[in-house]
Structure 1
Amino acid sequence: MTVLEVRHLTTYRYRRPVGFGEHRMMFRPRDSYDQRLLGATLRITPTPSAIRWVHDPFGNAVATARFDAEAEELVFENRISVEHFPDPVDFQSEDYAKTYPFSYAEDERPDLAPYMARQCPDPGGELERWARRFLGLGQETPTGRLLMTLTTAIGESFVYNRRTESGTQDPLTTLRLGRGTCRDFALFMMEAVRALGFAARFVSGYLYVPTRDATRHLGGGSTHAWCQVYLPGAGWVEFDPTNGIIGNRDLIRVAVARLPSQAVPLTGTFRGSPDDELGMTVEVHVTSEDPGAG
C-alpha cells in the first residue's frame, strides 16, 4: 500500500477581465478496492457563485462551477490524497476466456455491448488487420498474452509526443503517423481490441513517476490516459499502452467512459473576444509518502 498525493493546477489567463461560463470538472478519483480516496480539496479563483456535484452515467463524480465575477485569471487547484494498492495482474479469468477467441456470457453482453461497439471509422479494415497480426495462425491465443503483446507493441511501435490542443486523434491517423499522445494511444488500443470483440473503455487520471527514475514513464507532469479491457472473472483490467503498464501500478483512476470526450478533466467557456485569451497552463505533481513506491 502507498499513499499518493496529487496537486493539479490549471490556470487560464486573459488580456482583460472577462466573464466565465460554466466549467465542468472531473477531478475526484473513483473509490475502489485498489484505491481509496483519503482527502480532496478544490480551490477556484475567483470563487464560484455555485458548485454542483453529480454522478454521470458511468458513475464518475462531476462538479460544475458557475461564476458571477470577472477576472484576468481563472485558477483551479485540485489536491487529492489516495491510498493506492497495486493490484498484480495474473489474468485469473474464467476458464472459457483464458484463450482467444471467446464470447462474453449472455447475461453480461447487454451491459458490455456499448463498450464493444466500434466508435471510430475503419472502412478499409486497417486497424483490424493491425490487431490481428498478433493472433496465432490457425490456433487459439492465450488471452492475457494477446493483450499484453498489444499493449507493448503500441508503446514500441509508436512515438509518444505531447500535444497541447484539445481532442483525441483518430486511431487511423495514429496508425498512419506512427505517433500520438497518451489519450491517442488509449483510444487506439480500445478500438484495436474492440475490433477483436473485446469490451474496452477509456480511463482518465494521473500517473505517478518515481523521482528516483524520472524518465521511467511517459506522460508525467500532466493528466494521463489509458484504457481498461473487460475479462470474464478478472473484471476491468488496466492497460497503459503509453508505458506498457499492465494493472494499476502507478495509475490513479479518476474517470472511466466509453469515449475520451466523455472524460475530459476540465472544460468551460469565457465571455469576451477570442483575442482576450492568452493561454492556459497545466501543472500536475504526483508524489508518494513511500520513497520506494512504484
Structure 2
Amino acid sequence: MAIFIVRHSTTYRYEREVRLGRHQLMARPRDSFDQRLIDFSLDVTPKPSEVRWLHDVFGNCVAHIEFDRASDYLRFDCEIKVDHTPENAPDFRIEDYAKDHPFTYHDEEAPDLAPYVQRWFSDPEDHVGRWLDTFLTRGTKRPTGQLLMTLNEAISDGFAYDRRTAPGTQIPSTTLELRKGTCRDFAILMIEAARSLGFAARFITGYIYVPDRDGPTWLGGGATHAWCQIYVPGSGWVEFDPTNGIVGNRDLIRVAVARIPSQAIPLFGTYWGSREDELGMNVEVNVKTASALFLLL
C-alpha cells in the first residue's frame, strides 16, 4: 500500500484578454478496491462563476467549469491524495472456458462488452493484423494470459517513446509506420490489436508514479498518462501499460475510463477570440509518495 500525492497544474496564456468559455476537467481519480481517494482539491484562477460536478456515461467524475469574465490567462491547480494498493500481477485467474485464446465471451457478458470489442479505427489494409502476424499465429490456441503479455511487451520493446505536445492520438497504422509514439498512441495500438483478436478493451487516462531512486524510470511521467484495460473472464478488467510494459495497476493511478481516447481528454474548453490570441499551454504533473514528501519537508 502507498499514499500518492499528485499535483497537476495547467496554465493557458493569451496575447490579450479573451472571454473565457466552459471548460471540462477530468482529474478526480476513480474510487475502487485498489485505489481510494482520500482528498481532492481544485483551484481555478481567475475564479469561475460555477463549478458543477457530474458522472459521465462511463461513471467518470467530470467538472464543468463556467466563467463570466475575460482574462489573459487561465490556471487549473489540482491536488490529489490517493491510497493505492498494487496488485500482484501478473496473476491471471481465468475462467476455464477462456484460459486459451481464441474464445467467445459468455452470452450474459457479451452484449455489454460488444462496444469495447468493436474496432474504432478503419484499417482496410490490415496494418494491425500484419503486425500481429510477425509474432503471433492468429487462430492458433495459446494461453490467454501469455498472449496478452506478449502483446504488451511487443509494444514496450518494439517502439520508441516520443513525447508529443500536439493534441490527439495517432492512428495505429501511423504508429506502426513510425515505430514511435506517445503513451496515448501505444494504448490505442494495443486496444485495436486486442479488439482485432476478439478481446474487449478500453482506454484509461490518469497518472503514473515515477520512482526517484532504486527503481525503474517509467516513461510518461511529468504529464497525464494513458494505458488500457482488457476484459479477461475471471480477472475482470486487467490493466496493461504498453508504454512501460506494466501488467496490473502498479504505479498507475486511474482517473477516467472510456471506449476511445476522445472521450477521456483531461482538460479542454473554449474562449472567444482569435487563434492568434493563444500563446500556449503549460502542464506540470508531479506524483510523489507521502513518505517522500515528508522527507523533503
Common topology (TM > 0.5): yes
Length-normalised TM-score, structure 2: 0.95
2:47 is matched with 47
- Report whether the alignment pairs 1:240 with 2:241: yes
1:227 is matched with 228
The alignment of Structure 1 onto Structure 2 pairs a total of residues equal to 291
2:295 is matched with none
CA deviation after TM superposition for structure 1 residue 129, in Å:
2.6
Cα pair distance change 1:147/1:68, threshold 3 Å? same
What SS does the aligned partner of 1:54 have?
strand
Question: Any idea what the Cα deviations from partners look like across 1:199-250, whole Å, max 9, x if unmatched?
Answer: 0000000000001158610000000000000000100000000000000000
**Residues 276-291 of structure 1 correspond to what in structure 2 (within 5 A)?**
276-290=277-291
CA deviation after TM superposition for structure 1 residue 139, in Å:
4.2
Which structure 1 residue ranges, 5 or more long, are not aligned? none
The amino acid across from 1:245 in the alignment is I
2:36 is matched with 36
Question: Any idea what the Cα deviations from partners look like across 1:101-160, whole Å, max 9, x if unmatched?
Answer: 111000000000000000001101120232244435774211111111110110111111
Return the alpha-carbon distance in structure 2 between the equivalents of residues 232 and 13 of structure 1: 47
Return the alpha-carbon distance in structure 1 between the equivalents of residues 51 and 27 of structure 2: 13
Return the alpha-carbon distance in structure 1 between the equivalents of residues 76 and 225 of structure 2: 18
Return the alpha-carbon distance in structure 1 between the equivalents of residues 111 and 280 of structure 2: 43
**Residues 180-259 of structure 1 correspond to what in structure 2 (within 5 A)?**
180-212=181-213, 216-259=217-260
For the 8 Å contact 1:131–1:195, the answer to whether it is kept is: no
For the 8 Å contact 2:102–2:140, the answer to whether it is kept is: no
The amino acid across from 1:83 in the alignment is D
**Residues 148-167 of structure 1 correspond to what in structure 2 (within 5 A)?**
148-167=149-168
CA deviation after TM superposition for structure 1 residue 16, in Å:
1.4
For the 8 Å contact 1:205–1:224, the answer to whether it is kept is: yes
Return the alpha-carbon distance in structure 1 between the equivalents of residues 109 and 243 of structure 2: 29
What SS does the aligned partner of 1:149 have?
helix
1:118 is matched with 119
1:75 is matched with 75
Return the alpha-carbon distance in structure 1 between the equivalents of residues 139 and 57 of structure 2: 40
The amino acid across from 1:75 in the alignment is R
The amino acid across from 1:257 in the alignment is A
CA RMSD of aligned residues (A): 1.3
Q: Which moved more, 1:251-260 or 1:151-160?
A: 151-160
CA deviation after TM superposition for structure 1 residue 290, in Å:
4.1
The amino acid across from 2:213 in the alignment is R
Length-normalised TM-score, structure 1: 0.96
